[in-house]
A and B are shown apart, each in its own frame.
Chain A
Amino acid sequence: MWFKKRSIISYVLLALFLYISMKLTEFDLSKFRDFRNMIDFLSHWFPMDFSLLPRILKDSLETLAMAFLGSFFSLLIGLPLSFLAAKNTARSPFVYHLTRVGLSFVRSIPEIVFGLILLTALGLGPFPAVLAIMFHNIGVLGKLISELIEASDPGPQEAMKAVGAKSWFASLFSILPQIWPNVLSNYFYRFEVAIRTSLILGFIGGGGIGQRLFNDFKTFHYTAVSLDVLVIMIIVILVDFFGSYVRNRVI
């Protein structure tokens, strides 16, 4: 009743893809024979070197600032663009397709590539990292929010047209209240992702705790690495809590 003969092909294909992917990634659980090496390595991480805590906190603050600025600017720019990239609010098919293509374009470029390009002009430091996060997230938030707009109830928009409001204003005023809680949760998710991204950008000289982590790693300063990782985990969890708090207040 539920399983049709035809779907056997799908299962065979799925199994094939799994097999090929495992081959390509050298996926082999027997490699865990050397598990002890990892335990041994991790044991060098402790005890944590708390004397570095003030400097680590300062760098974390820089990371938070990078992630916040980058993601906030991307929301600021992505939100208006998303209205142009949604079928039900786009002024013309041309604008719609142009915005869609533009958003996919910036989204398809990873932050680290933006970072590497911007480094050549702006030099090392957190500023190019902020811009890299911003560009990529404009693409991501623009797409996500445009999909929220497309899924919104058209009724209120029609009502706002019927009272004689300008059409751009009718769309904005009727759709924004509907999607606002979801916009916020998308935003906070991207903020959280941006924190992790800014770590990677730290590896290429973007500053913040990412750069510290990278340097500590490269200089075999493992007792500092463990504290870096702990602080990063705490930051991500705090941002997550803060995000759900704000979202609950808004709903």
Chain B
Amino acid sequence: MIEIRKITVLYPGMKENALNSINLTLQNDDFICILGKSGAGKSTLIRCLNGLQTPTSGEVIWDGLSLSSLNEEQLRKVRREMGMIFQHFNLVPRLTVLQNVLTGMFGYRSSFKNLMGWFTAGEMDQAKQVIQEVGLIDFMDRRVEHLSGGQKQRVGIARALLQQPRVLLGDEPVASLDPGTSDRIFNLLQEMHLKHNLQTVINVHDVQLAKRYATRIVALKDGEIVFDGKPDEFTDEMYVYTYDSFGYSRMPYTVTT
């Protein structure tokens, strides 16, 4: 379970807090979508959860431990239990799908073994298993830069799954994908959420996707939580308020499924 207690983040050289004294408790079966304008603090919030960003004040509590009290070694152990996927996929270039997915195990193995690329037959099978799960088994030996955006994100998901994580974090994972591909990626994320009992927290710009897949929506505005509730409670008025949008841009979104 992750609990966020009054975290504030102020980036150096900025006047306004990126996050302003936020409290949030994530439940175990949550599939949370975080909504908000660009610059509302969504990425910062996600990155605080696995310690990629250290809050200026406040605490992130994971299994009763405050992340800020951990040394680097302990923080690594926390991170390996949290998978993360990214907008730009962040795959290691010039390596194959299989090689990239295997990096998901790095947190559990010695750096020397990682460097030499020594994997046991069991570990290889595990990697192939997750590649199968995301539907890329035929592309296993292909270099990642030769894949489409959707396929790259599937590699990202497979890498995260190989960590056998309890939490899956997504920092705008579909923001550079087309609508159809985004939908399929969210479908896969939902499937993995249910199958592996993964607590899932994802930043997303597409409100329609969020309402369709999330079990809980959190909306951020200017570094503060302005909404936290069930997807169908996120009304048109809430949408207009969150995004400072004009009424007419509600139109594509009100066509709910």
Contacts and interface: CB of A to CB of B under 8 A. Distances in A.
A166 B111 contact: yes
Given A165-B106, A177-B92, A177-B94, 14 more contacts: A153-B93, A156-B92, A158-B86, A159-B84, A162-B84, A163-B104, A163-B105, A163-B163, A164-B106, A167-B72, A169-B115, A177-B95, A178-B94, A180-B94
Interface in A156-191: 156, 158-169, 172-174, 177-178, 180
A156 B106 contact: no
B58 interface: no
B88 A162 contact: no
B80 interface: yes
A156 B76 CA distance: 16
B238 interface: no
Q: How large is the interface on B (under 10, 10 to 19, 20 to 34, 35 or more residues)?
A: 20 to 34
Contacts of A167: 72
B153 to A, nearest CB: 12
Contacts of B106: 160, 163-165, 169, 173
Contacts of A168: 111
Majority DSSP secondary structure for residues of A touching B: helix
B90 A159 contact: yes
A43 to B, nearest CB: 53
B90 A155 contact: yes
B159 interface: yes
A169 B111 contact: yes
Contact of B79 (A153, A155, A161, A177): A161
Nearest to B107: A164
B82 interface: yes
Interface in A126-178: 153, 155-156, 158-169, 172-174, 177-178
Contacts of B83: 162-163
Given A159-B84, A173-B115, A165 B93 contact: no
Interface of A: 153, 155-156, 158-169, 172-174, 177-178, 180
Contact of B52 (A156, A162, A166): A162
A169 to B, nearest CB: 4
Nearest to A152: B93
B103 interface: yes
A161 B83 CA distance: 11
21 contacts: A153-B93, A155-B90, A159-B84, A160-B92, A162-B83, A162-B84, A163-B79, A163-B80, A163-B84, A163-B103, A163-B104, A163-B105, A163-B163, A164-B78, A165-B106, A172-B115, A173-B103, A173-B106, A177-B94, A177-B95, A178-B92
Contacts of B92: 156, 159-160, 173-174, 177-178
A177 B145 CA distance: 12
Contact of A164 (B79, B86, B93): B79
Q: Would you list the 3 A-B pairs with minimal beta carbon distance, nearest first?
A: A164-B107, A164-B80, A159-B90
B127 interface: no
B215 interface: no
Nearest to B75: A164
Contacts of B89: 155
B91 interface: yes
Contacts of B90: 155-156, 158-159
A169 B107 CA distance: 10
Contacts of A158: 52, 86, 90
Nearest to A177: B94
B114 interface: yes
B212 interface: no
Interface in B85-132: 86, 88-95, 103-108, 111, 114-115
Given A158-B86, A159-B86, A160-B106, A165 B94 contact: no
Contacts of B156: 159
A164 B77 contact: yes
Interface in B40-97: 50, 52, 72, 76-84, 86, 88-95
Nearest to B79: A164
B107 A156 contact: no
Given A159-B86, A160-B92, A160-B103, A165 B52 contact: no
A159 B111 CA distance: 16
Contacts of A166: 76, 111
